[in-house]
Amino acid sequence: KNEVEQSPQNLTAQEGEFITINCSYSVGISALHWLQQHPGGGIVSLFMLSSGKKKHGRLIATINIQEKHSSLHITASHPRDSAVYICAVRSLRAGGTSYGKLTFGQGTILTVHP
CB of residue 18 to another protein, shortest distance in Å: 26
- Cβ atoms of 15 and 114 within 8 Å: the answer is yes
Q: Indicate the residue among 10 and 14 with the shorter CB distance to another protein.
A: 10
Please give the sequence-ordered ranges of beta strands (E in DSSP) within the chain, or none if there are none. 4-7, 10-14, 19-25, 29-37, 43-49, 52-56, 59-64, 69-74, 83-92, 98-104, 108-113
Q: Does 54 bind another protein (CB under 8 A)?
A: no
Q: In the complex, what is the shortest distance from the CB of residue 44 to another protein, in angstroms, rounded to a whole number?
A: 7
CB nearer another protein, residue 27 or residue 44: 44
Of these, 86, 89, 110, 112, which contacts another protein (CB under 8 A)? 86
Query: Would the CA dihedral through 14, 109, 98, 2 be positive or negative?
Result: positive
Residues binding another protein (CB under 8 A): 4, 30-31, 33, 35, 41-45, 48, 86, 88, 90, 98-102, 104-107
